Amino acid sequence: MPSPEHDEIVALIRASADDPTAVVGFDEARARLDSLGAIFAVPDGVEITPAELAGVRVERFRPSGAVGPGSIQYHHGGSYIGGSLDSHRPLTARLAAATGREVVAVDYRLAPEHPFPAGLDDARAVHRHLVDVEGIDPAQLVVAGDSAGGGLTAALTLALRDDGSAPAGAVLLSPWLDLTLTNTSITELADDDPMLTADALARAAEAYAGGRLKEPLVSPVFGDLAGLPPMLVLVGTAEILLDDSRTFAERATAAGSDVDLDVHEGLIHVWPFVDGIPESAAALRRIADWIDATVGA
């Protein structure tokens, strides 16, 4: 069951929520998400270095002390129309600290100014730079992301598999994997989810991919899921995207791929984002242990 700290966060979210019929513009949605990055602290002992790789802006997070092998390439959430290095800096830094590995956070282009496949192209370009220019072994490079960034991570994994440069593994946090919004949890869990609405996601999906929503690199649940590297998927039962993870894990497993699906009772969308609740710390420990087992300590 969720902790009291988790439930306090849910109560705060519900108390500050807009009228569900109100339409929030993309600019306002971006500003709100970026403002969340200022709420949580970046942990001590993590060096943050801005950089540009293959023309894409990134931030590199390197924890102090011993650093494990390889790197983590991270993609922020935000429904493909929002999110940034600013919004996710505390989470990305905590991920670096928890895993003891360098994390490269990708500031990929956003819709509607830059619709699909611009964001995916940026993620592929950064991966190519890390492998071809910096010489990182793909077998020691993990790709990760949350929400839309989790969907982008899954799409990137499909593309890299087809390119013959699949990463060591992928970590998906509450991923958005079906932009057609046809899974049953979209409606069945609408009252349980304090963060996401089908209407807002539908507007973002249209801005991102228009009539291409069933293409596998937009909605990975519709792809050929055979031959994927190991994947860890974390999702809560209080989020309308629950069935995205379940459907993806079922289809990937049936295709012979190795997917660890962790379903957490009562937890909200991308709860690891929220610093200070025990579930967040536990999720980061789970990710660190999984990466150690997959890549090597």
List domains and CATH numbers for the chain.
Answer: 4-295 (3.40.50.1820)
pLDDT of residue 70: 84
Categorize the per-residue pLDDT at 17 as very low, low, confident or very high, splitting at 50, 70 and 90: confident
pLDDT at 288 over 90: yes
Mean pLDDT of all residues in 83-100: 97
pLDDT for residue 1 = 85
The percent helix, strand, coil of the chain (3-state, each to 5) is 45, 15, 40
**Helix (H/G/I), strand (E/B), else coil: 291:** helix
- How confident is the model at residue 22, as a pLDDT? 59
Question: Residue 67's pLDDT band (boundaries 50, 70, 90)?
Answer: confident
Q: Look up tokens 């789970």; give the residue.
A: 286
> Is pLDDT of 127 > 70?
yes
For 209-259, write each residue's pLDDT tens digit.
999 999 999 999 999 999 999 999 999 999 999 999 999 999 999 999 999
Angle between helices 4-16 and 278-295 (to 10 degrees): 110
Catalytic residues: 147, 239
Give the residue with greater pLDDT, 69 vs 256: 256
Q: Is the pLDDT of residue 101 over 80?
A: yes
Q: Is the pLDDT of residue 268 over 80?
A: yes
Check residue 296 and give its pLDDT: 79
pLDDT at 297: 65
* The pLDDT of residue 79 is above 80: yes
Q: Per-residue pLDDT averaged across 36-62, rounded? A: 95
Q: Give the pairing of strands 259-264 and 141-146.
A: unpaired
Q: What is the CA radius of gyration of the chain?
A: 17
pLDDT tens, residue by residue, 113-124: 999 999 999 999
Task: Count helices and strands (H / E) in the chain.
Answer: 9, 8
At residue 20, the pLDDT reads: 52
Q: How far is CA 231 from the centre of its chain?
A: 13
How does 267-277 read in b/e, with b if 16+ C-beta sit within 10 Å? bbbbbbbbbeb
pLDDT tens digit string along 134-164?
A: 999 999 999 999 999 999 999 999 999 999 9
- Alpha carbon of 97 to those of 63, 152, 174, 259, 275: distances in Å? 5, 23, 21, 24, 13
Q: What is the DSSP string of 82-140?
A: S--HHHHHHHHHHHHHHHTSEEEEE----TTTS-TTHHHHHHHHHHHIIIIIS---GGG
Distance CA 230, CA 280 (A): 22
Q: Residues 159, 170, 150, 45: is their CA dihedral positive or negative?
A: negative
